[in-house]
Chain A
Amino acid sequence: MSTRLQFALGAGLLIALAAIPPVASLAGIPFLLTLFTRIVIVAIASVSLNLILGYGGMYSLGHAVYIGIGGYTVGILAFHGVHSGLVQWPLALAVSALFALVTGALCLRTRGVYFIMITLAFAQMVYFLTVGVAKYGGDDGLTIARRSSFGGLVNLADRTTFYYVSLAFLLAAVLVVWRISRSHFGMVVRGACANDRRMQALGFPTYRYRLAAYVIAGTMGGLAGALLANQTDFVNPEMLSWTRSGDLMIMVILGGSGSVIGPVAGTVAYMVLEEVLSGITEHWQIILGPLVVLMALVRQGGIVGWLSPKRHA
């Protein structure tokens, strides 16, 4: 996967995504903007998952929990009358980071399939927490009366503004992961993924680097959650259900896990596919399921991999 190809794909995606609001309004399909706002936000979560899954080999099956944590932090603060985004958002990130730090410290003591199951279990723990706390809506979720306010800075209630803010965050997330993946830190994380034993023998205490990557990814996931809560003006346990985590994993792999831009492409492709299929039949998952199975079986670098001219090794 050459840098140039990734760059071209990234630029193309960016232009296409930037054109969504005018296209939606010209074509008179406001739903398009809603859909793509959601896609852009979820893409932030995919990009963050890719940092640990694609570069770090940490197969987290609980990444949607950060969307939930970020979302619920915003929702709960709003419930208590705190609407300032300058309080809500940093707190959403901080809570996500803290949760990632504590659970990551435990999860990363294990490897392979243990890691998969334990990330899933911790996410499930928070899921049941959100279901169980009746004060914040329990199963039914929590409606957010007012979107995060940033003084006069930006007005998130405006749909187009909100879209571009989300897109800007996505761009930032892609840039951050791109830089990180090539940095000294990123080399350690990638090295630990490829051959942890060798890394330690070279003198890298890999655990703390992997944990740091896990926390960064969780924090970015929390950002996606804060955005999503604002988009839907609503949070509920479904946001962090484990199928959402599975979806994120699929999007990353579908796009190409070893590349920075792949997860964005994967998110767009998967969510558009869902939309198209659900337009065809009510039972669209009966088509999607086997497609996912097929995709797993032929997995070859994802979309970015297919676009690449013959990849070596």
Chain B
Amino acid sequence: MTLFLEQCLNGLQLGLLLFLLAAGLTLVFGIMDLVNLAHGSLYMVGAYLAAWFAKRFDSFFIGLAAALPVALLLGIVLEVLVIRRLYGRDHLVHVLATFGLILFFNEAVRLVWGAAGLTLALPEFLGTWVQVIPGVPYPVYRVAIIVVGLLVAAFLYFLVQHTRVGMLIRAGAADREMVGALGVNIRLLYTLVFGVGACLAALAGVMAAPILTVQIGMGETILILAFVVIVIGGIGSVRGAFVAAIIVGVLDTLGRAFLPGALKQTFGAAAASTAAPAISAMFIYLLMAAFLIVRPEGLFPAAGGRK
């Protein structure tokens, strides 16, 4: 039981990381109708920047504090140089161009930081354990991820629901032309949204860095999970992304933790040991397929999100 609760916490933590990534992706899609495969590259670059700055200045927090603005800047530059030219064009063009960006970023990172990968060390107090559930020591850092994820979710909720920018964002997701008709500086809004998305992706990268290794290609695996999240949540919906991210995070973690045991009981050890890792890896995609059968539009379809 305690193991189960601990895995639930792990799932929540993965879910919130996914949410950080998916939120930017779904916003960018909802507002600019842009499919951005390179979103995972920003996650990777965020992680690398943090690891590098942290090592350089020997402080996790300087790493964090330096990585985010640089990522924001990078996002803005990227938007101005490339992404801006993609608005209003075929999704196929988006896929190709952002795929090209991935090739570029992966190689650029290899060029700058080498192929070996980096690690990001935690400050001491974040490396300890607390008892969130009585009797179960749980890493403080993972608790920190959960807290940050929830804070960002709350911040985004406030931003989208209660501010003028948020009003524009919601209007943009529902009806793109209307926002233009309001005489808003669309260009600036787009650049801003893309920058914020980049920043969130980088934040996810920084948060994940101490748990995973910082390596080339790290963005792509999680990007595809984030796709699953926004497909389940409904493209363009931040709320959907939040709910779906938690669902995916928890189910994926629980699946990996408990499916092998369950399989062993039903099919015997031999069969389970071959099938279990495969099935738990596929679990989340099967979940997505199931969602598609029941709700092809996702949990919270945004009005204008589908074309």
Measured CB to CB, the residues of A under 8 A from B are 53, 59, 61, 103, 106, 109-114, 116-118, 120-122, 124-125, 128-129, 131-135, 242-243, 246, 249-250, 253, 283-286, 288-297, 299
Contact = CB atoms under 8 A, between A and B. Distances in A.
B96 A250 contact: yes
A113 B281 contact: no
Interface in B244-300: 274-275, 277-278, 280-282, 285-286, 288-289, 292-293, 296
B235 interface: yes
B104 interface: yes
B103 A117 contact: no
Contact of B99 (A133, A249, A294, A297): A249
A113 B91 contact: yes
B292 A288 contact: no
Contact of A283 (B91, B97, B110): B110
B178 interface: no
16 contacts: A106-B293, A109-B293, A111-B307, A113-B29, A113-B35, A114-B306, A121-B228, A121-B231, A128-B282, A132-B277, A246-B95, A250-B99, A283-B111, A289-B100, A289-B104, A293-B100
B282 A297 contact: no
In the complex, the 5 A-B pairs of residues with the closest C-beta atoms, listed nearest first: A289-B104, A292-B100, A289-B103, A128-B281, A125-B285
Contact of A59 (B91, B102, B274, B282): B91
A291 B101 CA distance: 10
A114 B277 contact: no
Nearest to A109: B296
Contact of B93 (A118, A125, A288, A299): A299
Contacts of B104: 285-286, 289-290, 293
A113 B280 CA distance: 26
Given A113-B91, A121-B231, A285 B277 contact: no
A274 B241 CA distance: 38
A292 B292 contact: no
Contacts of A53: 92
B37 to A, nearest CB: 8
B103 A124 contact: no
Contacts of B105: 289
Interface residues of B, number: 47
B234 to A, nearest CB: 10
B113 to A, nearest CB: 13
B5 interface: no
Contacts of A106: 289, 292-293
Contacts of A114: 231, 235, 296, 306
A111 B29 CA distance: 14
B103 A129 contact: no
Given A113-B29, A296-B100, A131 B281 contact: yes
A292 B288 contact: no
Given A129-B278, A293-B100, A120 B224 contact: yes
Interface centre among B82, B100, B293, by most A CB within 10 Å? B100
A133 B82 CA distance: 40
Interface in B102-118: 102-108, 110-111
Interface string B25-66: 000010000010100000000000000000000000000000
Contacts of B85: 297
Interface centre among B103, B107, B235, by most A CB within 10 Å? B103
A114 B93 CA distance: 15
Contacts of B138: none
Contact of B97 (A109, A111, A293): A293
Contact of A249 (B86, B96, B286, B288): B96
A290 B285 contact: no
A258 to B, nearest CB: 12
B96 to A, nearest CB: 4
A205 B104 CA distance: 43
A129 B281 CA distance: 7
Contacts of B96: 249-250, 253, 292-293, 295-296, 299
B219 to A, nearest CB: 12
Given A121-B227, A242-B224, A283-B110, 5 more contacts: A59-B92, A120-B227, A125-B286, A288-B100, A289-B107
B280 to A, nearest CB: 8
A67 B140 CA distance: 44
Nearest to B96: A296
Nearest to A59: B92
B137 to A, nearest CB: 30
B97 A128 contact: no
A312 B239 CA distance: 45
B1 to A, nearest CB: 28
Interface centre among A132, A133, A243, A288, by most B CB within 10 Å? A132
